Structure 1
Amino acid sequence: MKNTQIKYRRMKSLIALLALLVILPASASSIALSNTKQDTVIIELNNNSKIVIITKSRDDLASLENYDINQMVKDLNNQLSDSVEYMEIKDGKAYVNEDDEVEMKDWKINDDEVRIKLGGVEVDVDTDEMDRWDEDDWEDRKKVTYEADRVDKTTHHFNVDIGLNNWLEDGSFPAGNSPYSIKSFGSWYVGLNSTNRTWVGGPLFLEWGVGINWYNWKLEDPDYIIQEGANEIEFNLAPAGQNGTKSKLTASYINATFVPMFDFSRGRRKITSIESGGIRIKKYSRKGFRFGIGGYAGYRIGSHTKFKYKEDGDRDKDKESDNFFLENFRYGLRAQIGWKGVELFANYDLNDVFTSNRGPINADGNNASLSAISFGITL
């Protein structure tokens, strides 16, 4: 039944349809076959619900005997919610009656299975079935694509922030000739986040959770070494004979975030389910436009410097772990904006990277106040 499209107006009609399909001969009080059109068959049920079958010829109608309609309806019932108005089934081979028919399960994880969730993709792997899986199984995969308006009170997902970071001095990036000027490309920001999404009402959601992230500040001039001095963080030129190739400061934090989000699609999602042997894949794609601004707070759990250089033709590196006068606590503002499957973020720390009067000495001879900033994409 390739390219079949099924529209559902109300869940009540679907529930009645499921019950009556199973005991159709006994429970349908009146079944009328409309012969007014050769390519249309209408089955009327006793609760004002109908099954409409549209075919191009009588031969196509007869071919329906090869399909497991009961299994198809059961699968739809497992996937649908009260507000689903449209569902499309692709690859009708998934429902052909065969001796070795495989039932589509409810995607409940078993003890011998592995589940991986990343962003909008969920993968279940049954290791026992995978031992018997081959590439021919993929040709007979089951695929269901549909749009759902269901809004769960709270959903959980794991995502990854990947982007770039820098720091600002008095609202501007440090001058290019400054020892602590940051090289934008290569100063990576990475965050691993466990996030919950709670529906408040209407288009308003709250995204909240915890995670771990890493700042990597890579110096524009790799000949400077980042060192902890007696009174402040220092950026000193490498000794003669050492030609720097990379110099960076890395700090890791554990964070809590809280971001109110306006989702104008009101949680609407496109969902694609694929099953083949021991592999089950479920992909979620958000719909419409959304944005939000919130806050975060974090605590530093580690920091180190790394200096790579060449000396007498040999490559070498020095790595040192310390606190480097970094603030233990950080807090700031987070903005998120998304369109369908794309999600962007930006973070701005409201406090300084280094403790008061411990920042690097600037051109005016004062301790520079540096604020961390990062931006990128959420996967």
Structure 2
Amino acid sequence: MKKNLLFAALIGVALLFSMRSFAQEDESNDTVSRRIDLESTLGKKDYDDRGRVIKYPRIFGGLTFTRIDWGFSRLMDDGSFTLGEGNQFLKYKKASNFGFDVAQFGVRFHDAFKMYVSAGFEWNYLRLKNDIILDTEATPLAYTPSDITYKKNIFTSTYLRTPLSFEWRGRRNHRGYRPKIAFGAMTGILLKGTQRFKSEEHGKQKFKDNYNLASFQYGAFARVGFGSLGVFAKYYMNDMFENSPDQEKLNNLTFGLSLGF
């Protein structure tokens, strides 16, 4: 029995080394450009840091933690940054956007250009000016004025985002950094809506509902950067709320910094 186990182990080691040797030899073959590499991209770049030649096109994909976006948001009411009469209750002190990608899959066609689809999460925050409570049961969107003065009244939407990106990068400078430009289309699926309060009377409170938020969002985005740091802008073409006639043509525009670009 021990001899059989030892023999099996030796065969396994031999197979492992033979596969490794084949893979190394295969790297000089044109078929390498058509193999699927689904190794995790966590902590790795999409080009070889060891100076080995990579043949194109090259398929890549896996887990990642990148394109970390943080910036400001502005609501647009029928193309204007001034909210109309029917949307005055949504006046805000501050509005922000935060998101990141956790997975990606794509094709690098050559050293300068690639396209990929990714998946991640995105949050939009509105720090409301008015002391209102959004109705979790109403359709269309409705609210109730509150007699409590809130220190914080934050309305948040959470989406699973799935952008399709086309990315170009230039030559390296003397420090190894490259200029980059990316643009594409983005979609998102609503995960939840949340309204959080903070007051002296009730402390911290949190309520979850979809609040008539768009169950599916879509839009366009662009990124410009150098090295791993860049700036981004996103425009959501869909209405922010659905089944709410008074909120038709209410869209969201965001812009800010992007890390890991």
If the TM-score is normalised by the length of the shorter chain, which range does it land in? Answer: 0.5 to 0.7
Query: In the alignment, does 2:251 pair up with 1:352?
Result: no
Residue of structure 1 in register with 2:256 after alignment: 376
Query: Contact between 1:173 and 1:181, CA under 8 Å: does it hold in 2?
Result: no
Which is bigger in relative contact order (C-alpha 8 A, separation at least 6)?
A: 2
Q: Is the 8 A contact 1:238 1:244 kept in 2?
A: no
Aligned residue pairs, count: 214
d(CA) in 2 for partners of 1:182, 1:116 = 39
The one-letter amino acid of 2:208's match is S
Does residue 180 of structure 1 match 2:105? no
Looking at structure 1, the residues matched to 79 and 97 of structure 2 have their Cα atoms a distance apart, in angstroms, of: 20
Equivalence for 1:216: 125
2:162 to 253, 256, 272: 256
One-letter amino acid of the counterpart of residue 117, structure 1:
L
Give 1:258 deviation, angstroms: 0.8
Q: Aligned letter for 1:371?
A: N
Amino acid at match of 1:163: G
Deviation per residue, 1:83-140 (Å, 9 max, x gap): xxxxxxxxxxxxxxxxxxxxxxxxxx9xxxxx993587xxxxxxxxxxxxxxxxxxxx
| Match for residue 327 of structure 1 among 195, 214, 217 | 214
Summarize the alignment of residues 40-59 of structure 1 with structure 2, pairs less than 5 Å apart.
none
8 A contact 1:166–1:217 mirrored in 2: no
Map 1:141-160 onto structure 2 (within 5 A).
153-156=58-61, 157-159=64-66, 160=68
Deviation at 1:259, TM superposition (A): 1.1
Q: Tell me the SS of whatever aligns to 2:162.
A: strand
2:145 counterpart of 1:237: yes
CA distance in 1, matches of 2:248, 2:144: 15
Identity %: 21
* C-alpha distance 298-151 of structure 1, shift in aligned 2 (>3 A): farther
Q: Which residue pairs with 1:117 in the alignment?
A: 42
Letter in 1 for 2:90: Y
Question: Quick one: distance in 2 between partners of 1:234 and 1:188?
Answer: 24
2:81 is paired with a residue of what secondary structure?
Answer: coil
For normalisation by structure 1, the TM-score amounts to 0.48
Does the 8 Å CA contact 1:166/1:182 hold for their aligned counterparts? no
User: Quick one: distance in 1 between partners of 2:97 and 2:218?
Assistant: 19
**Structure 1: distance between partners of 2:209 and 2:121:** 19
Q: Report what 1:189 is aligned to.
A: 98
Partner of 1:251, secondary structure, is strand
Q: 2: CA distance between counterparts of 1:150 and 1:184?
A: 49
Seen in structure 2, the aligned counterparts of structure 1 residues 119 and 173 have a Cα distance that, compared at 3 Å, is farther
Q: Structure 1 residues 329 and 180 mapped into 2: Cα distance closer, same or farther (>3 Å)? A: same
Q: Structure 1 residues 118, 371: closer, same or farther in 2, change over 3 A?
A: farther
Identify the residue that residue 291 of structure 1 maps to in structure 2.
Answer: 181
Specify the SS of the correspondent of 1:183: strand
RMSD across aligned C-alpha pairs, in angstroms? 3.6
Against the structure 1 CA distance between its residues 154 and 287, is the aligned structure 2 distance closer, same or farther, given a 3 Å change threshold? farther
**Residues 25-65 of structure 1: per-residue CA shift (max 9 Å, x gap):** xxxxxxxxxxxxxxxxxxxxxxxxxxxxxxxxxxxxxxxxx
Unaligned runs of 5+ in 2: 1-26, 29-38
Contact 1:226 1:248 in 2 (8 A): no
Say which one has the larger Rg. Answer: 1
Counterpart Cα distance in 2 of 1:343 and 1:193: 18
Q: Is the 8 A contact 1:345 1:377 kept in 2?
A: yes
1:134-181 superposed Cα distances (whole Å, 9 cap, x missing partner): xxxxxxxxxxxx895955724444212222333211122234993212
Q: Which residue of 2 aligns with 1:55?
A: none
Displacement of 1:232 in angstroms is: 2.3
1:154–1:257: structure 2 CA closer, same or farther, 3 Å change rule? Answer: same
Q: TM (normalized to structure 2)?
A: 0.67
Q: Write the distance in 2 (CA, Å) between the matches of 1:349 and 1:205.
A: 24
Any runs of at least 4 consecutive aligned residues in structure 1 with deviations exceeding 6 A, and if so which? none
Indicate the residue corresponding to 1:163 in structure 2: 71
User: Do structure 1's residue 316 and structure 2's residue 196 form an aligned pair?
Assistant: no
C-alpha deviation, 1:201, in angstroms = 3.2
1:204-263 deviation digits (Å, cap 9, x = unpaired): 2113211122222221x1523333464422344322xx2111112212111211111121
